[in-house]
Each structure stands twice: as C-alpha cells, then as structure tokens.
C-alpha cells in the first residue's frame, strides 16, 4: 500500500488527524512530567545491626558474618559488602541489574525473611537487625531550620508542626529530619552521699524505671459497661521526678536531695548540622513514586507561604536544595536548546532548499516533535536532560526522511512531472528504503535501550525517544510531506528539459567524484591514512565515565584522623565554613558532621556514621565558578589542616564514584591485606598525577584495655558486667528510665556530677559498684592493669572476604593514570588465596559498557539483515558498513581539538552516528539501484545517483551537525555532541566519495570520460 496515495485520496481525514495529533501534542507537552535528570533505581539495601560494646573484630565475626551468610542464600544478590565498626554492623546488599523497579519490593520482602530467620544466631546483647530498603529515596526538597537563641527541642517542635501540615501536600511521600539532638534527662548523684544514706543505685534505677511504665491495670463491669482502670502516678513534669521518694519504708528521701535532675542532650551527639554557621535541623521531603516533583514543589511552597505567619519568632526556614526549582531551570534551559536547534535546522533548510521548502519541512519537524511529546506522555517518559537531549540529537535524522521525499518530489516536478504523480512515485520508490534506514538508525540505539544496570536505566529514555521520534518522522514523511508538497511547494520556473543537477555545485562534485573513482586505489590509501590519523588522535583523547553536573553546588568532604571526637571535627568544620563563606561567589554553606546527610539528589554518596567525618555542601551563584573555588578551598585545607584528609568535588551526573581509582585486595589476614595495600598506596604516591590517596580502613585507633581479673573480682562480688556498667556510668552515663512528654519519649540517663566525672587520664580513680556486695570498690581491685592498645576501627568486607582498598583520584586523565600505575600494582606478588581487583571508575565503566559490547554486535547484525533485506544483496551491505570506521577520522580529531573526554555519552554518540552513516549510505546506494533498473549505464548511474543524493545527504548532515551545536556547552552532552558533529562532518564527505568508489570496486565498474 502506498501511504502517499492514501493521504492524497483522504485529504480531509489527513487534515483532521494532523490537527488532532498536533493539539494532543501541545496538551501533552503541558502535562508531561518534568525532572532534571532521569531517575534510576538504586538496587541496594542496608542491613544495620547494633552490638553495643563489641569491638570491630567481634562485630565482624559474630554479627556481620551471620548476616552475610543469610543474605548469600538469595539468588537475586549481585554482591555483598559490609563495614564493621565498634558496636555497629552495616551490610550493603546489591541486587542483580536484571531486576526492575517493580520486582524489588518482593525481593526486599524475601531479604527481610532471611534476616529475620538469622536473628536467633546473633550473640546475646546484639540488637535486632534493621533492613533499610529506602536507601535510594531522594529528598528533593531539603531545608534547614535555624534559630539563633532557640534550643534544639524548640527547633524540633517547629519541624514537627511543619511535618504535620506538609504531609498533606500533593505528591509528598514522607518527611525526614537530620541533625536532631536527642533530648535527655540527666540524673546526677554523688556516690558518697548515697553511701551515707545507705541507698543503692539499684533503688534509684528501679524507681525511675517502674514509675513511668505503661502497664495494664485491668477492667471492671459497672452497670453493664466494661470500664478500663488507669491509675495515675506517671511523671507529669521534671519536678515530679525530683519529688520521687527513694529508700525503704522507714527511711525515705526525695530524689532531689541526693540527685540533680536536669534537661540536656545526648553527649556526644551522633551528628550535627549548621547552616551558614548557625545550628540547624535538616528537613527533607520526598516525592511519592510516580509523582511530579514540580507540582509537589509548588504545593509545598504555597503551604509554607500560608504557614509563615504561624512560625515562632526567631526561627528561620532556609532552602538548601529545592529540586522543583532546579528542575524547572534545567528543563527550560534544554527547551531553549531545543528551540535553538529547531530554528537552526529550519534556517539551514531554507538556505539550501528555498524558503518555502525549508519552511514546509520545518512544519513537518514541529509536528514530529509534538507527536513525540504525545508518545512520551502516553509512555510516561518525563521531560529531562536525557529525553530532551535525545530530541535534539534526533533533529537531523527527523528531517532526513522528509528532506529525501520533498527533494525527490521537487526534482521530479522540475523535470516536468505532475505533482500528484511525482509524490506517489517518490514514496513508492523511496518509502521502503527510508523505512529500512529508519529502522537501522533505531537499532543503533537499541543496545542502550535494553542495557541492564543503573547506567542503562539512566540513559534508557534516549532510546525510547529516538525510536518514537524516528518512527513518527517516517510516517509523516510518507503521508503529510507529499500532501504539503502538493499544496504549498513552489516550483521555480524552468525551461522544458531543464536538468536540476546542472548547477555549478553539482558539476564540481561530479568532477571530484570522477577523479576519485578514476584513482580509486589512491583514494582508498588516502582514506586509510586519514583513518590512521584519527586513531592516533583517538589514543590521545582522555576518557571519563560521566561528566560533572551543572548544579551550582560542590562538596567538601573532610576526614580527621580516625577516632577523632565529633566535637573536634565539628570545630574544624566551623573554621572551614567560616572561611568558605567569605569567598566571592559563595551563597550558602551547609555543614554536616558525623555522617552523610539525607540523599537530596540521586547521585549523592552517603557516608556511614563516623565521628571523624564532616561534609560541607557549598552553594554558589554560578556553577562556572566552581573550578576556581575548588582550587582555592583545596589550597586552604592543605595549608591549614595538614593532618586531615579533605576531598573537594563537584556533584556528579548519573551514577558516580567518589574515588576514581581503587585497587581492592581480598583475603583472610588483615596484616597481609594492609601490607599489599600499602605497596599500592606507595605506587600511587610516586605518581605525580595522583591525589586524595588513602586506604579505606584508614588509621588505627587507640583503645584503653582494663585487664579484668576474674579471681580478684570474684572474691569481692564484682562481675564483668558490673565493671562495664561502672565505666559506662562514669564516662557516658547509664539509661535508667523513660520520661513521656506529649508524644516524645525522653530517656533518663544517670551519671556522676560534672566535678566527679573521671577523665581518661584518671581512669584508675573509677569506683566499681558490686551488685552482689552492694558496695563500691576501686577499679584496681578488679583489674590487673590498664593498658592502651591499637585496633582497626573499620573492617571492610566484599563478598564475604576481608578487603582493603587503595584509593586515589587523578589530577588529569583518570584512565591514563590507572594504566600508568596498573603495571606496578599488578606486579605486586599476591600470596595464595589473595586477589586484586580494579574498582572505581574503571569497574563502573566496564560494568556500563559490557552490556553494550554484548548487545551492539546483535544490533549490528540486525542492521546488516535489514540492509540485506532492502537490497537482496550481500555486497551492497558490505559497502555500506565499511563507511562506519570512517567516522573515527572526525571523532578522534574533533575530541582532541575540542579537549572533550571520550566517556559513556560519547559512546552513545558513536552508536547513533553509526546509524546515521548507514542511513546516508542506504539512500545513496538505493538511488544507484533505481538508476540501474531504469536502464542507465553503470558508471553513469553511479555518477548521476551520487549527484542526485548530494543535496539530501549534505542537508541531513548539516542539520544534524548544527542542530547539535546548542548541546556542546552542556557538560552531560558535550562528549556526545562533539562525537556526532566531528564524526559526521568527516564521514559525510568521505561517504559521498568512498561509497561510490567502493561500489565501483566491488562491481568492477570502469570510469568513462564520456559520462562525465
């Protein structure tokens, strides 16, 4: 069926359909979801288990190993890695890339069952393991609540009020706080006073614990009603606690007489936050699955505006990160890029084809884009950098089909044919080859469409949008384009028998092509030399995984020596934030100490709790200033904090890795592993291009080890538990009860008065309480010696083996540095049972590229089969596919001259470029076949066909190249844009020469001067 003939017969139907689809496209554009970057599923869960008092080694052997063994039973698991610290086991579980977002909830349920079944195997004293499968949740609206003269409790009260109201907003999923300080009641009593009164600590603890318990008190029947009995007596205020009577029936004293009860916060805190130097609480809001972050942002902004009058005086609410605002700005920027690209394409067409023809194809292009918006809306594809970039990338190919059809009709009408006959005949001869060429272009992107993993998921919309838009472009090219040509195309007045290809441009190309075919072997040799040059430059191009983001933020990650008190870390962070705040261009500085903050963007790299760790999130007024600011901050940190381990980095785009180069050693013995890792670190230090060099276990920490004497302690009735409780009471306090205040549960902690708290230097003054003898004893009566020891504070494991990673970043080309140090590191002799693996960006790149390497050959085979089907020949497809390597000539040279790295997006650009080149070659050879079938002599057919396809090929390439220009400044797309622009520029001209040359070689066609 000839679709052009159908369109011409049913013109009214076509007009109605065009109006309907155009209108639907406009409505879809208005309703379609918007994101800055496409989402990808983090297929990772965390299993956290507390084991208070246990050393990292005990945690690893008694908890982590048990949890990992249970997880290993699951067939869905890709890899397991864990961190064991003092009193805490954190096990990360990555699921295989083949599982989708929809399948994960069921997998997480299975994980919970496995973890629950393993709980009886955990040691006494270990807490219940908690499975966190919300690890990947993004809190895209992130605020700081500050109040200069307000307590943390007052800030938390306001945060609770906001949470109650904002949870009612459209598309809000949940709200989390960060940096809240646990309020406690401290009960501080003097041991000597207790001894005088004959009161034991157990009496105080027992009274505090029993007084505020919620217990059943029974029910009674009264006149047919079953009434609940609830006695009073629970704590109503802090004063009520102080008024408690302690002691026996004959001797009672008020708690306030022997103990001071006061409010405070857990010391030391688990984490701390500041915003521009003021203490703060973080407040994050996430979007429901499938929700619209822009709509949610608007709803939250309106609600906050309405609640502003209820905000307590002195409390301020600050925006740290507002995703909906950033999404709008990013999408608007890309829409502007799209509009610029469309304008460039239309102007170029008007120059090449005349204003009417150019405008006609421009209208077809706009219709294609609007219909693509409709398809994206129906397929639930959001407007974001990847999908909009795909539209810009496809612009040249979208007009390609329409150009071939319109140009063919124009030439036929110029030769004297009637418009309707010319339109029907053009679609009949070119329709199927164009369909095949379109399918080839789609197949070029199929590999990324079906690639598993987070990278494939991140880029998948590129394939969907390309496939959708190219399919629509072919449909409109064979239906709407002929119709519009008949109605609107203005044909220049020409004399009868006029040859459209007699113009100077065509004559010069014809002579050049004749010379190239005449000296065909010299032509091929020149192409080979050019290809060698392209490969040479390609070898000099740097490589990267994903580029940095254009968000106006950067991180300062800061590690003090392992074991540093959080207050010391926080004070250093205060000095750094004060300095950064004074730098020109810095807008806001958010400080997080003790652990990583809420995941406010998908690529955020969370850091587990660590008192020696801090992070600054620095907001700037222009992301282009970040490179300068980074260097300034780095120099300040190096000069002023020589013992720290700082790392200043931009926010990444897509899946990111904090340390670009990592060498992981695995085995049994930590000493051997550290010896191997130390050798790798030494190799890194010898390289001038390495920075941020470290081991992931970091430094050893000091531990005070009182040697408990069972014999001595048994004689006086002191148990090991008594010793541990006494030390805990002296240094940190013991939890002895609970105070209920509205909806808050406030722990009651017992500890000595401040003037009696023993410091580490005077640990030998500690008095140990004997629960048996009901008396205090000096610590020296139960321990033989108190000595310091050193231990590793972190034990890392990977797939159930201990592992140590040597890590660094590169000052320049990451892969070049890795290759430079790889030979020496791989030469390190490994004992039996030990292994070395490369992690970091190398592993991420391989993981992302391997699916493409597996799928792309199948896609190439599919393209080859389609071309064989089009031409019913093997030689012609071979000629066509030999054009693909020609793109390297332009790619290598272009990337090198433009100083753009060859990353993952550049690889996608190369895949797409392959489809474009094959499509151009198909159109050219198809015309040769048409001319041969019409009876032309072979050499004349080659020349005439090449000349007739010269303008469509040049226009398609030109529109694609110039249409990509707005993407060059965009970091995410610069590699792809440079690859396509430079590769297509070189390959198009070579295609117009080498395809006819190769055709003549394959079919042994000799030159004929008479046909010139």
What local confidence, expressed as pLDDT, does residue 975 receive? 84
Helix pair angle (419-443, 904-933), 10° resolution: 140
Confidence at 272, pLDDT banded by 50, 70, 90: very high
Is pLDDT at 708 greater than 70 in this prediction?
yes
Confidence at 847, pLDDT banded by 50, 70, 90: confident
Confidence at 695, pLDDT banded by 50, 70, 90: very high
Confidence at 758, pLDDT banded by 50, 70, 90: low
Q: Which residues touch 391 (CB under 8 Å, ≥6 apart)?
A: 338, 369, 372, 465, 469
Q: Which residues touch 339 (CB under 8 Å, ≥6 apart)?
A: none
Is pLDDT at 352 greater than 70 in this prediction?
yes
- Reference 836, options 794, 803, 789; nearest CA is 803
Q: What's the rounded mean pLDDT across residues 343-368?
A: 80
* C-beta separation of 427 from 1010 below 8 A: no
pLDDT digits over 634-657, tens only? 999 999 999 999 999 988 776 678
pLDDT digits over 870-903, tens only? 888 899 999 988 888 888 888 888 888 888 888 7
Is pLDDT at 490 greater than 70 in this prediction?
no
Is pLDDT at 928 greater than 80 in this prediction?
yes
Confidence at 1007, pLDDT banded by 50, 70, 90: confident
Of the candidate ranges 79-83, 249-253, 933-937, the one whose mean pLDDT is the lowest: 249-253
pLDDT digits over 711-735, tens only? 888 888 888 888 888 888 888 888 8
Percent of residues, the chain, with pLDDT higher than 70: 96
Q: CA–CA separation, 426 vs 406, rounded Å?
A: 9
Is pLDDT at 78 greater than 90 in this prediction?
yes
Is pLDDT at 164 greater than 90 in this prediction?
yes
pLDDT digits over 48-59, tens only? 999 998 999 999
Confidence at 613, pLDDT banded by 50, 70, 90: very high
What local confidence, expressed as pLDDT, does residue 726 receive? 86
* C-beta separation of 395 from 469 below 8 A: no
190-204: string of b/e by CB count within 10 Å (b at 16+)?
eeeebeeeebbbeeb
Strands 88-95 and 278-287, bridge-based pairing: unpaired
Three-state SS sequence of 306-317: HHHHHCCCCCEE
What local confidence, expressed as pLDDT, does residue 573 receive? 95
- Reference 431, options 375, 494, 482, 356; nearest CA is 482
Between these two residues, 708 and 330, which has the higher pLDDT value?
708
Confidence at 991, pLDDT banded by 50, 70, 90: confident
Is pLDDT at 32 greater than 90 in this prediction?
no
Confidence at 864, pLDDT banded by 50, 70, 90: confident
What local confidence, expressed as pLDDT, does residue 955 receive? 79
| Cis bond before residue 268 (omega within 30° of 0) | yes
Q: What's the rounded mean pLDDT across residues 345-370?
A: 81
What local confidence, expressed as pLDDT, does residue 495 receive? 54
Is pLDDT at 496 greater than 70 in this prediction?
no
- What domains can you pick out in the chain, each with its CATH number? 1-31+354-490 (1.20.1640.10), 43-135 (3.30.70.1430), 200-213+232-257+702-791 (3.30.2090.10), 507-540+873-1011 (1.20.1640.10), 552-652 (3.30.70.1430)
What local confidence, expressed as pLDDT, does residue 493 receive? 56
Q: Which residue has the tokens 């990947």?
A: 136
pLDDT digits over 444-468, tens only? 888 777 777 777 777 888 889 989 9
Between these two residues, 246 and 703, which has the higher pLDDT value?
703
What local confidence, expressed as pLDDT, does residue 249 receive? 53
6-39: string of b/e by CB count within 10 Å (b at 16+)?
ebbeeeeebeeebeebbebbeebbeebbbbbbbb
**Between the ranges 96-110, 470-484, 792-806, 978-992, where is the mean pLDDT highest?**
792-806
DSSP secondary structure string for all residues of 967-982: GTTSHHHHHHHHHHHH
pLDDT digits over 188-246, tens only? 887 777 777 778 888 888 877 776 666 677 888 887 888 888 777 667 777 778 778 88
What local confidence, expressed as pLDDT, does residue 3 receive? 75
pLDDT digits over 369-420, tens only? 899 999 999 998 888 878 887 887 777 677 778 877 887 787 777 777 788 8
Confidence at 82, pLDDT banded by 50, 70, 90: very high
Confidence at 158, pLDDT banded by 50, 70, 90: very high
* C-beta separation of 284 from 239 below 8 A: no
Is pLDDT at 967 greater than 70 in this prediction?
yes
What local confidence, expressed as pLDDT, does residue 592 receive? 96
How many degrees, rounded to 5, is the angle at CA 577 between CA 571 and CA 583? 150
Between these two residues, 745 and 568, which has the higher pLDDT value?
568
Percent of residues, the chain, with pLDDT higher than 90: 33
- Reference 427, options 979, 389, 419; nearest CA is 419
Is pLDDT at 681 greater than 90 in this prediction?
yes
Is pLDDT at 859 greater than 60 in this prediction?
yes
**Between the ranges 87-96, 480-489, 539-548, where is the mean pLDDT highest?**
87-96
Q: What's the rounded mean pLDDT across residues 752-777?
A: 80
Q: Which residues touch 935 (CB under 8 Å, ≥6 apart)?
A: none
The token duo for 39 is 């989402």
What local confidence, expressed as pLDDT, does residue 375 receive? 93
What local confidence, expressed as pLDDT, does residue 212 receive? 67
User: Rounded to whole angstroms, what are the CA distances from 310 to 13, 306, 678, 742, 816?
Assistant: 59, 9, 58, 20, 58
Q: What's the rounded mean pLDDT across residues 744-757?
A: 83
What sign results for the dihedral spanned by CA atoms 685, 687, 692, 695?
A: negative
Mean pLDDT of the chain: 86
pLDDT digits over 301-320, tens only? 999 999 998 899 999 999 99
Q: CA–CA separation, 938 vs 86, rounded Å?
A: 82
What local confidence, expressed as pLDDT, does residue 343 receive? 82
Q: CA–CA separation, 993 vs 995, rounded Å?
A: 6
Q: What 3-state class would DSSP assign to 830?
A: coil
Strands 77-85 and 44-50, bridge-based pairing: unpaired
pTM of the model: 0.81
Is pLDDT at 778 greater than 60 in this prediction?
yes
Of the candidate ranges 8-12, 634-638, 953-957, the one whose mean pLDDT is the lowest: 953-957
308-323: string of b/e by CB count within 10 Å (b at 16+)?
eeeeeeebebbebbbb
What local confidence, expressed as pLDDT, does residue 181 receive? 92
Is pLDDT at 1 greater than 60 in this prediction?
no
Q: What 3-state class would DSSP assign to 737?
A: strand
Confidence at 500, pLDDT banded by 50, 70, 90: low
What local confidence, expressed as pLDDT, does residue 588 receive? 95
Q: CA–CA separation, 431 vs 439, rounded Å?
A: 12
The token duo for 176 is 């989390």
């Amino acid at each position: 069926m000839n679709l052009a003939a159908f369109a011409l017969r049913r013109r009214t139907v076509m007009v109605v359909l065009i109006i309907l689809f155009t209108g639907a496209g406009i409505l879809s554009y208005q309703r379609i979801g918007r994101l800055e970057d496409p989402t990808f599923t983090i297929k990772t869960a965390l299993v956290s288990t507390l084991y208070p008092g246990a050393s990292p080694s005990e945690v690893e052997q008694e908890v982590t190993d048990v949890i990992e063994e249970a997880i290993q039973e699951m067939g869905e698991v890709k890899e397991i890695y864990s961190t064991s610290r003092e009193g805490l086991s954190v096990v990360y579980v990555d699921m295989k890339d083949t599982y989708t977002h929809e399948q994960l909830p069921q997998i997480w349920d299975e994980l919970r069952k496995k973890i629950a079944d393993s709980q009886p195997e955990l040691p006494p004293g270990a807490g219940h393991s908690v499975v966190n499968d919300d690890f990947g949740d993004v809190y895209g609206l992130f605020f700081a609540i500050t109040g200069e003269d307000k307590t943390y409790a007052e800030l938390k009260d306001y945060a609770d009020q906001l949470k109650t109201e904002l949870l009612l907003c459209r598309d809000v999923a949940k709200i989390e706080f960060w940096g809240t300080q646990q309020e406690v009641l401290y009960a501080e009593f003097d041991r000597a006073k207790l001894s005088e009164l004959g009161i034991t600590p157990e009496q105080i603890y027992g009274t505090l614990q029993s007084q505020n318990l919620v217990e059943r008190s029974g029910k009674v029947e009264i006149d047919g009603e079953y009434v609940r009995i609830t006695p009073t007596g629970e704590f109503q205020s802090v004063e009520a606690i102080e008024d408690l009577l302690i002691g026996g029936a004959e001797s009672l004293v008020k708690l306030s007489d022997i103990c001071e009860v006061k409010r405070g916060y857990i010391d030391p805190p688990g984490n701390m936050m500041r915003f521009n130097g003021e203490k703060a609480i973080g407040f994050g809001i996430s979007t429901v699955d499938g929700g619209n972050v822009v709509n949610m942002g608007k709803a939250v902004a309106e609600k906050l505006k309405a609640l502003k009058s209820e905000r307590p005086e002195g409390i301020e609410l600050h925006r740290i990160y507002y995703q909906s605002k950033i999404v709008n700005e990013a999408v608007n920027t890309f829409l502007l890029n799209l509009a610029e690209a469309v304008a460039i394409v239309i102007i170029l067409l008007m120059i090449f084809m005349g204003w009417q023809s150019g405008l006609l194809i421009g209208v077809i292009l706009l219709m294609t884009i609007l219909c693509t918006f409709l398809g994206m809306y129906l397929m639930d594809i959001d407007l974001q950098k990847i999908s909009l970039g795909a539209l810009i990338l496809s612009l040249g190919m979208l007009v390609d089909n329409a150009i071939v059809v319109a140009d063919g009709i124009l030439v036929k009408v110029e030769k004297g044919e009637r418009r309707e006959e010319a339109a029907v005949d053009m679609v009949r001869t070119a329709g199927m080859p164009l369909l095949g060429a379109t399918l080839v272009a789609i197949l070029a992107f199929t590999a990324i469409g079906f690639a598993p993993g987070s990278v494939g998921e991140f880029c998948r919309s590129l394939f969907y949008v390309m496939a959708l838009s190219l399919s629509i472009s072919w449909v409109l090219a064979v239906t709407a384009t002929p119709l519009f040509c008949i109605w609107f195309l203005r044909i220049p007045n020409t004399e009868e028998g006029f040859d459209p290809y007699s113009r100077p441009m065509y004559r010069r190309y014809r002579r050049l092509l004749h010379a190239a075919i005449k000296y065909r072997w010299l032509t091929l040799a020149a192409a080979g030399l050019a290809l060698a040059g392209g490969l040479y430059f390609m070898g000099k191009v740097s490589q990267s995984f994903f580029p940095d983001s254009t968000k106006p933020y950067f991180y300062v990650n800061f590690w003090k020596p392992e074991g540093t008190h959080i207050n010391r870390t926080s004070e250093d962070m205060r000095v750094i934030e004060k300095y950064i705040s004074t730098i020109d261009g810095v807008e806001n500085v958010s400080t997080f100490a003790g652990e990583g903050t809420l995941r406010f963007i998908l690529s955020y790299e969370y850091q587990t709790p660590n008192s020696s760790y801090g992070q600054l999130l620095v907001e700037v007024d222009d992301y282009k200033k970040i490179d300068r600011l980074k260097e300034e901050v780095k120099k300040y940190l190096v000069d002023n904090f020589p013992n720290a381990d700082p790392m200043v980095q931009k926010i990444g785009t897509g899946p990111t890795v904090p340390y670009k180069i990592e060498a992981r050693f695995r085995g049994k013995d930590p000493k051997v592993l550290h010896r191997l890792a130390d050798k790798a670190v030494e190799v890194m230090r010898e390289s001038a291009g390495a920075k941020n060099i470290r081991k992931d276990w970091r430094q050893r920490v000091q531990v005070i080890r009182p040697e408990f004497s069972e014999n001595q302690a048994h004689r006086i009735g002191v148990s090991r538990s008594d010793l541990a409780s006494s030390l805990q009471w002296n240094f940190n306090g013991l939890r002895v009860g609970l105070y209920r205040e509205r909806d808050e549960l406030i722990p009651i902690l017992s500890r000595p008065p401040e003037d009696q708290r023993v410091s580490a230097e005077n640990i030998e003054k500690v008095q140990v309480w004997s629960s048996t003898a009901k008396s205090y004893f000096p610590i020296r009566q139960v321990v033989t010696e108190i000595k310091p020891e050193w231990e590793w504070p972190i034990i890392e494991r990977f797939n159930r083996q201990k592992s140590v990673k040597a890590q660094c970043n590169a000052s320049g080309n990451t892969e070049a540095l890795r290759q430079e140090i790889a030979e020496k590191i791989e030469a390190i002799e490994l004992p039996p049972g030990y292994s070395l693996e490369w992690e970091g960006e190398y592993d991420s790149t391989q993981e992302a590229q391997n699916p493409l390497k597996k799928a792309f050959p199948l896609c190439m085979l599919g393209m080859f089969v389609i071309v064989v089907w089009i031409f019913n020949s093997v030689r012609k497809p071979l000629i066509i596919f030999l054009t693909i390597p020609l793109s390297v000539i332009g790619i290598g040279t272009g990337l090198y001259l433009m100083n753009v790295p060859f990353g993952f997006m550049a690889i996608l650009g190369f895949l797409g470029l392959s489809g474009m080149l094959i499509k151009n070659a198909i159109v050219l050879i198809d015309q040769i076949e048409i001319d041969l079938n019409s009876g032309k002599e072979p050499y004349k057919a080659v020349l005439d066909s090449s000349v007739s396809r010269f303008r469509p090929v040049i226009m398609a390439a030109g529109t694609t190249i110039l249409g990509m220009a707005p993407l060059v400044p965009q970091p995410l797309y610069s590699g792809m844009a440079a690859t396509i622009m430079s590769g297509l520029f070189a390959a198009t001209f070579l295609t117009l020469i080498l395809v006819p040359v190769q055709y003549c070689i394959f079919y042994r066609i000799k030159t004929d001067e008479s046909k010139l």
